[in-house]
Chain A
Amino acid sequence: MSSGEIVVNLLFYVFAIVAIGGAVAVAASQNIVRSAFSLLAVLFSAAAFYAFMRADFVFAAQVLIYVGGILVLIIFAIMLTHRITDVQVSNESSHGPASMFACLCVLFSLVVVIATYKWTRSERPVDVTVPGTKATVSLGMLQADAQYAADRGTGVPRDGMLIDGRGWLVVRAPDLPAGVVAARFHVEGGTPVKEKESATKAWTWKTQPLRGADHADVVFDERRGVGREARLELTGLPAGRYRWGVSLVSEKSDVKPTEIARFGAAGAGEASDFRVEAGLSRPIGMALMGPYLLPFEVVSVLLLAALIGAAFLARKEVKEQR
């Protein structure tokens, strides 16, 4: 396991243990205030999971609304509905072996389904035949070890969106044609998404072998469980639209590289193969103002109704004393 993976795994499992421990404490604690603060642990861990999945806007919304709003509301409600002078506010629960058994059955069935279903069955990258030979290579684009499938029609991954400009372009070749040692990647683009689609310019970025050049050669090497693979790591790509292409480089220096995929090979007018977005804020904003406009407006009316309703329901009625 590479070093980066160790750190990510470590941090993830710390947060997973906190989440599970907090959830169990909410379910089993005898003190209601303690279970409210264990809910805090669960909510923060859920926010951490969103951060692991690079959904940064959802992370901020979770902490701001759930932790800073809903949890404060719950704690206020606890303090308003109990006699507050006793610190050990008890929280009874009717145990029953029946409910515990039922819940364990549900958990067991969920875990079995999760573990046995082939979740990423459709992730196989597309295979492209190397022109002039019978060998095939497969092209893919990865982000955070998730794999984007390619479009079968054109052989080039399309519609991918990299968040934070970090990912890999991958060429896998179980059987390489004779004499091929490396894959040459070309990446072009980086214009802001609101400019005209056809304007492109070659881009250089700080940490890449493509600095100053317009291509990068990556030697094929064995990867455990996968076969011969050439991976180009992309980091620090500015936001914008990009196109990429791959050629196979032979060890003989006088042989021209065999081009196996070129950019813009899709239909006319579609000038990009993948987009890089700096975070999820902009795509979510475009989605909320686009396909999700009606739900957005309906939710705002619903929030207004909930605000008025809650304020009305919680007012102190003038009634006879008990």
Chain B
Amino acid sequence: MNDLHQFMFTRRPLETLLVVSAIIFVAGLYTIMTRKNAVSILMGVELVLNAANINFVAFATFVPRAGLHGSVFVLFVIVLAAAEAAVALAIIIGIYQNFGRVDVDQADVMKG
């Protein structure tokens, strides 16, 4: 038991956070690959972006002399994710108005 605490968060914070974010990343990847609903795919993209953000801030905090460039970059990623989600959801709503459902397997007709 005493040896176990070498792997706990407070002794190896960087590795623990990277593993957690890897799991979230893979869950997002699975969501993007297997889901049919367009909004679900967007949720998977958000999971992937969040995993990357956790990585950025972890490296900024726990790597010596990395500065705070990781945290600043995370702010940009969050803002860009917001812009991208807004435009993607507008497109999805457009697809719904044209096709009646947001199934990406069935949206395979080009207009005109």
Contacts and interface: CB of A to CB of B under 8 A. Distances in A.
Contacts of A26: 27-28, 31, 40, 43-44, 47
Contacts of A283: 68
Interface stretch (A167-175, A180-188, A261-269, A287-295): A287-295
B53 A46 contact: yes
A1 B81 CA distance: 40
A82 B35 CA distance: 16
Interface in B34-65: 34-37, 39-40, 42-44, 46-47, 50, 53-54, 57-58, 60-65
B48 to A, nearest CB: 10
B50 A42 contact: yes
Interface residues of B, number: 74
Contacts of A144: 13, 61
A152 B35 CA distance: 53
A74 B68 CA distance: 30
A206 B36 CA distance: 59
B22 A110 contact: yes
A20 B8 contact: no
Contact of A32 (B11, B40, B46): B40
A65 B93 contact: no
A35 B40 contact: yes
A77 B26 contact: no
Secondary structure dominating the interface of B: helix
B96 A81 contact: yes
Contacts, number: 245
A50 B15 CA distance: 15
Contacts of A160: 65
A133 interface: no
Interface residues of A, number: 92
A12 B9 contact: yes
A120 B59 CA distance: 10
A65 B78 contact: yes
Interface in A130-146: 144-146
Contacts of B20: 16, 19-20, 49
A52 to B, nearest CB: 8
A120 B34 CA distance: 37
A74 B85 contact: yes
Contacts of B83: 302-303, 306
Interface of B: 5, 8-11, 13-20, 22-31, 33-37, 39-40, 42-44, 46-47, 50, 53-54, 57-58, 60-65, 68-69, 71-72, 74-76, 78-87, 89-94, 96-97, 100-102
21 contacts: A5-B5, A9-B10, A13-B9, A27-B34, A36-B39, A49-B17, A55-B74, A58-B71, A69-B82, A74-B42, A77-B39, A81-B101, A81-B102, A82-B102, A91-B35, A106-B29, A110-B25, A148-B65, A306-B83, A313-B93, A322-B100
Smallest CB-CB A-B distances: 7 pairs: A23-B27, A306-B83, A313-B90, A314-B90, A310-B90, A110-B22, A81-B96
Given A70-B46, A93-B35, A309-B90, 11 more contacts: A8-B9, A26-B40, A39-B47, A42-B47, A58-B57, A91-B35, A91-B40, A114-B15, A149-B64, A287-B72, A303-B82
